[in-house]
Structure 1
Amino acid sequence: MQKAVALKYDFSAAPTVVAKGNGLLAEKILAVAKENGVLLHQSPELVEMLSTLELGEEIPESLYLAVAEVIAFAHKIKDHQW
């Protein structure tokens, strides 16, 4: 079953979970992200861990490195788009 987790990061605190879902809701989250030019990263293991968090909850310190790598990768890709 498809799963999706959306994070918000404003550089002032740890990223927070702003949307999550399974199945059709996951597909809708991904569609809205694509429509708004949000870069997507697929990591089933990370999504599995993030999906245990509540909406509005900051990611735990144990996931800082994994999420930081995704954010850095997204910024690198965004900076190199033509």
Structure 2
Amino acid sequence: MAKVFVHTHEKGDSEWENEYYPFSRVPVEGEFLTLASDGEWYKVEMVVHTPFDREIHAEIYAVKVDHMKIQKRKLNTEPTFSFE
């Protein structure tokens, strides 16, 4: 398990939440993550690998996103027109 220092925030907000989490691998830039089964979704903006630190494998910075909008766009679940 990779121990990752996760920094999260809302877009336009300079207040960061900072916590450590174990990941099976270090998330990469552009991926989405959630920190709880019913938690908010975040998009990884930046990854800083920290090979000099024995305590953590990386730091990631992520911004809160609207998971419903992401799912609709990625899964193509927008309503389609019907001529019935």
TM range (shorter): 0.3 to 0.5
> Which of the pair has more CA radius of gyration?
2
Using structure 1 for the length normalisation, give the TM-score. 0.32
Return the structure number with greater helix share: 1
Using structure 2 for the length normalisation, give the TM-score. 0.32
